[in-house]
């Protein structure tokens, strides 16, 4: 099944309209049933309760547009199964995240669910030979894939700490992933990424500062495993193995940077990495003097830079793609050094 750039644009537009329309409905439901994020812990930065359930709108929009498009295209059953192998585990984690939004689960059940979803997804990828950049060893592929999925799920969840920050960043990564998927003739990856881009931009209309609704763990976990699965399925058209491995890292470079800085700073202070805190990139940018909207835009710009590097890699020759990857790696290391050296809190 092939999908053109114009069809990808239609998919993104459909998801944008659907999620943009569903989100205020979810907001009213959250207020009615008091599913709210209350500023009752020290790491919360908002002053008034903000409704959750934005993630439910994202999930419904992505599922409806994705499977609706497959039905409309009269896709073969194998394409339905491929889509289900990506969206099924994401839906399960999204439902667990919704449960967490409502009941406030401890970290351990969430981590167990992420691990189970990671093992299940990696088993599907290995058995169907759809790992984009295999290592040559099925065992190593399975380990790397599971760690990647669990790590990115937590990374996106950690990163969702600023109005519009996570939604905008995921939208940028998804746009780049759409381009890479279509240019590489990986139409399922490109199509699902286009739907994700449209859905997150539609949600961003309501989530930008000052946010009127949050995606919650339902949205963060759903999007986390979805992006992780799509990036691990992507087969970059790179000339060397290491630049091929660099491509998915570049697509999610900023959430990975955020998690690395926050976790290592907590370990340095001898506190649990799973404990909330004001030590994320967004908090550090605000303490550096930026307004919250400016901090979100800064994160989007950084994401755009790394995403652009990922898109350029398959379009250049061997030497140039290595230079691009090296520049991106140095930029990431420099950003890590800068943020890690800034104060963890005021």
Confidence of residue 6 (pLDDT cuts 50, 70, 90): confident
Q: Name the more confident of 242 and 173.
A: 173
Among 2-6, 211-215, 255-259, where is mean pLDDT lowest? 2-6
pTM of the model: 0.93
How many helices and strands (H and E) does the chain possess?
Answer: 13, 2
Q: Say if residue 292's pLDDT is above 90.
A: yes
Residues found in the chain: 346
pLDDT of residue 259: 94
How far apart CA 321 and CA 300 sit, in angstroms, is 23
Q: How confident is the model at residue 346 (pLDDT cuts 50, 70, 90)?
A: very low
pLDDT of amino acid 43: 53
Residues 114 and 94 sit within 8 Å (Cβ to Cβ): no
Q: Does 321 score more than 70 pLDDT? A: yes
Q: Which residue has the higher pLDDT, 296 or 128?
A: 296
Q: What's the pLDDT score for residue 284? A: 93
Q: Is the pLDDT of residue 338 over 70?
A: yes
Categorize the per-residue pLDDT at 159 as very low, low, confident or very high, splitting at 50, 70 and 90: very high
pLDDT of residue 250: 96
pLDDT tens-digit readout, 173-196: 999 999 999 988 898 899 999 999
CB distance 220 to 157 below 8 Å:
yes
Q: How far is CA 173 from the centre of its chain?
A: 8
State the average pLDDT for the chain.
Answer: 89
pLDDT of 108 strictly over 50: yes
What values do phi and psi take at 179, rounded to 5?
-60, -45
Contact 281, 261 (CB under 8 A): yes
pLDDT higher than 70, residue 285? yes
In this predicted structure, which of 13-17, 27-31, 239-243 has the lowest mean pLDDT? 239-243
What confidence tier does 45 reach under pLDDT thresholds 50, 70, 90?
low
């Amino acid at each position: 099944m092939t999908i053109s750039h114009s069809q990808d644009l239609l998919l993104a537009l459909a998801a944008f309209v659907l999620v943009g329309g569903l989100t205020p409905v979810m907001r009213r439901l959250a207020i009615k049933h008091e599913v709210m994020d209350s500023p009752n812990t020290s790491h919360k930065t908002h002053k008034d309760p903000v409704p959750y359930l934005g993630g439910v709108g994202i999930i419904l929009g992505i599922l409806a547009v994705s499977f609706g498009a497959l039905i409309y295209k009269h896709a073969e059953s194998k394409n339905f199964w491929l889509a289900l192998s990506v969206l099924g585990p994401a839906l399960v984690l999204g439902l667990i995240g919704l449960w967490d939004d409502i009941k406030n689960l401890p970290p351990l059940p969430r981590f167990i669910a992420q691990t189970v979803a990671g093992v299940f997804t990696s088993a599907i990828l290995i058995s169907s030979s759809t790992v984009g950049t295999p290592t040559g060893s099925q065992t190593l592929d399975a380990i790397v894939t599971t760690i990647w999925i669990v790590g990115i799920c937590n990374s996106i969840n950690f990163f969702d700490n600023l109005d519009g920050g996570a939604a905008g960043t995921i939208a940028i990564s998804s746009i780049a992933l759409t381009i890479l998927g279509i240019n590489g003739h990986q139409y399922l990856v490109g199509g699902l990424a286009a739907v994700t881009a449209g859905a997150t931009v539609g949600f961003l209309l309501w989530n930008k500062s000052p946010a009127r609704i949050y995606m919650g763990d339902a949205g963060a976990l759903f999007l986390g495993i979805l992006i992780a699965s799509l990036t691990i399925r992507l087969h970059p058209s790179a000339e060397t193995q290491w630049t091929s491995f660099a491509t998915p890292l570049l697509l999610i470079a900023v959430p990975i940077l955020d998690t690395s800085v926050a976790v290592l700073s907590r370990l340095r202070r001898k506190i649990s990495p799973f404990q909330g805190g004001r030590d994320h990139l967004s908090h550090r940018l605000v303490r550096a003097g930026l307004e919250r909207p400016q901090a979100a835009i800064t994160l989007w710009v950084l994401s755009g830079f790394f995403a652009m590097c990922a898109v350029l890699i398959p379009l250049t020759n061997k030497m140039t793609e290595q230079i691009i990857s090296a520049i991106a790696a140095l930029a990431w290391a420099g950003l890590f050094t800068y943020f890690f050296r800034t104060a963890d809190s005021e």
